[in-house]
Every structure is written in structure tokens, then in C-alpha cells.
Amino acid sequence: MYTMSPRMVLIICTFAGLLLGGCANSKPARFYTLSSGVRLQESEPATSRGNDLSLAIGPVALPEHLDRPQIVTRVGENRFILGEFDRWAEPLVRSFPRALAENLSTLLSTDRVIVIPRKTSTPIDYRITMDVIRFDGNLGKDASLIARWAILDSDGNEIVPMKKSSFVVKTRREDYEGLAAAMSEAVGELSREIAAAIRAAG
């Protein structure tokens, strides 16, 4: 039977202590999400359809470099930094269309809004498709959202042809919470533009 020497036991115990100490001192991760807090303004009347209007959101495509838990910040035109301890609570590919759907539900005064690929037996009046080109920002500066989108009718015909929208929202704080809030506000501005197009379409 092999017996370790006292020196070997001391080395192993020291290494284990350093390892456990490092784990105990590791920085806890913080998690954020997009919010959907738009409010219907007096200059934005609901559609005449009201709660009878039904919408489907999707597909919504985001850049692959955003498909990760870490929040991505831009520090140059071709350089990004990943927030190792500042992460999204759920993938942006899910939270982005969900926030958009909730905003449109408020702005158009309808509860009949779904996110594809969710299935529904309710006929859809309009479907919003989108390709997000840019959705990031700089801590303490601003958040940027650039997207191409179109509105289709129930037969897949374009009611509003493909359009490119760009938004830059200043952050009110210099941390990741401030960036998440500014990004949420950018989604809100995009929602207002889409809602206005739907109202115009009748």
C-alpha cells in the first residue's frame, strides 16, 4: 500500500487551499435583460382596429457575435469587449423580439401579438420580419441599433417594403445597467417607428 510522505500531503493541501480560495474570491456574475417600457403618447393614437389587430414578430435575425451570454461592448469600429461578469439573463435572440412584441402591444393597444415560432390558431393581420445589423454600445456613452425590417400581410405580401432604421441612445449611467437601459430604449424607438407604419397601413 502506497503512503504519501508528509511533504507531499502538505503540498497537496496547500494547492487545494489556493484553489478553493481562488474560487471563493471569484467575482459573481451580474445578469441583465431588455425591458419593454414604452408608453402610448397623445400623438400616437391606437389603430382603429384596437384589440382586434393581430401581429406576429419574426423571424428576427441578430449578428452571430451577439449570440453569447456576455454583454458585448464596442470599443472601436472593429474591436469588441465581452463583459465576463456582466451577462444577459437570456439570449438576445429571444429577449429582443419579446421586448419588441410587448412594445407593439402597448403602442397599438392589442394583446394579440405573438413571437414566431410560437404557433397560433388566430389569423395574423401583419407580420414583422427583421434583420438586426448592429445592436451594441459603449459604457458611459451610447447604445446603437441598426435594423432592416418589413411588414407583411397574412399572405406574405409586403405592406411596408424593406426599410433600414438607425437609432443612437445616450446612456444615463456609466455601467452595464445603464447600457442595458439605453439598448432597451433603442428597441422602444424602433417599436414606435414600426407602430407608426402599421397605423399608416390601416
Q: Strand locations in 89-192, DSSP E?
A: 112-115, 126-137, 142-153, 158-170
Owner of C-alpha cell 465581452: 82
Reported residue count of the chain is 202
Angle between helices 176-201 and 92-107 (to 10 degrees): 50
pLDDT value at residue 58: 94
d(CA 4, CA 87): 44
31 forms bridges with which residues in the sheet?
87
Tens-digit pLDDT profile for residues 76-90: 888 988 888 999 999
Owner of C-alpha cell 441612445: 169
d(CA 84, CA 4): 40
Residue 173: its H or E element: none
d(CA 94, CA 188): 16
Q: 169 CB contacts (<8 Å, ≥6 apart)?
A: 142, 143, 145, 182, 183, 185, 186, 189
How much is the average pLDDT of 157-182?
Answer: 95
Domains and CATH numbers, the chain: 29-201 (3.40.50.10610)
Of 73-77, 121-125, 150-154, where does the model show the most confidence?
150-154
158 forms bridges with which residues in the sheet?
152
Tens-digit pLDDT profile for residues 30-55: 999 999 878 766 566 655 555 689 99
Closest listed residue to residue 35, CA positions, set 198, 156, 183: 183
pLDDT value at residue 18: 47
- Of the given ranges (49-53, 71-75, 152-156, 172-176), which has the lowest mean pLDDT? 49-53
pLDDT value at residue 77: 81
pTM: 0.82
d(CA 70, CA 189): 24
